[in-house]
Amino acid sequence: MLGFEWDPPEVHHRWNSASPGRLERCEIAVLDDAVLELRRVYSFALGLLVELPATGNRACDLFRVLRDATARVISLPQAPHADSAIRRPMLHLEVESVIDATASLTECLNRSPSGSTTNCFAVGHAHIDTAWLWPIRETRRKCLRSFSNQLRLMEVFPDYRFLCSQAQQYAWVKEDSPELFAAITSRVAEGRWEAHGAMWVEPDCNCPSGESLVRQIVYGEQFWREHFGEAAPQRMLFLPDTFGFPATLPQIMAQAGLDTFVTNKLTWSTSNIFPHTSFVWKGLDGSRVLAHNTPGQDYNAVNTPKELARGEANHRTKSAAPALWLQPFGYGDGGGGATENLSLIHI
Amino acid at 128: I
The stretch 75-84 carries a mean pLDDT of: 51
Q: 77, 110, 143 — which closes off a domain? A: 110
Same domain, 87 and 141: no
Q: Which of 61, 241, 259, 333 is catalytic?
A: 241
Q: Are residues 248 and 157 in the same domain?
A: yes
Q: Are 191 and 157 in contact (CB under 8 A)?
A: no
In a domain, 75, yes or no: yes
Q: In terms of DSSP bridges, do strands 288-293 and 278-282 run parallel, antiparallel, or are they unpaired? A: antiparallel
Range of the domain at 259: 120-345
CA pair distance 171, 148, nearest whole angstrom: 15
Indicate which CATH number applies to the domain containing 293: 3.20.110.10
* pLDDT of 226 above 80: yes
Q: For residue range 159-215, what is the model confidence (pLDDT) as tens digits?
A: 999 999 999 999 999 999 999 999 999 999 999 999 999 999 999 999 999 999 999
Same domain, 185 and 281: yes
For 300-347, write each residue's pLDDT tens digit: 999 899 999 999 999 988 866 668 999 999 999 999 999 987 654 444
Tell me, yes or no, whether 159 and 306 share the same domain: yes
Q: Lowest-pLDDT range, 114-123, 135-144, 164-173, 253-262?
A: 114-123
Are 267 and 129 part of one and the same domain?
A: yes
174 and 103 within one domain: no
**Residue 198 burial (C-beta neighbours within 10 Å; 0-12, 13-18, 19+):** buried
Q: For residue 210, how far is the Cα from the chain centroid?
A: 31
Q: In the chain, what percentage of residues exceed pLDDT 70?
A: 90
pTM for the model stands at 0.86
Question: Does the annotation mark 241 as catalytic?
Answer: yes
Is the pLDDT reported for residue 91 higher than 90? no
Domain count, the chain: 2
Predicted local distance difference test score (pLDDT) of residue 336: 93
Among 110, 134, 159, identify where a domain stops: 110
Q: Which residues does 153 contact at the CB level (< 8 Å), separation at least 6?
A: 124, 160, 162, 338, 339, 340, 345
- In the chain, which ranges are continuous DSSP H helix? 9-15, 33-51, 57-74, 84-110, 136-156, 167-176, 178-190, 210-228, 249-255, 305-318
Establish if 13 belongs to a structural domain: no
20 in a domain, yes or no?
no
Provide mean pLDDT across the span 264-279.
90
- Whether the pLDDT of residue 16 is over 60: the answer is yes
Rounded to the nearest angstrom, the gap between the alpha carbon of residue 214 and the centroid of all alpha carbons in its chain is 28
Q: Is 313 in contact with 274 (CB distance < 8 Å)?
A: no
For residue 303, how many other CB atoms are within 10 A of its CB? Answer: 25
- Average pLDDT, rounded, for the chain: 88
Q: How many CB atoms lie within 10 A of CB 117?
A: 12
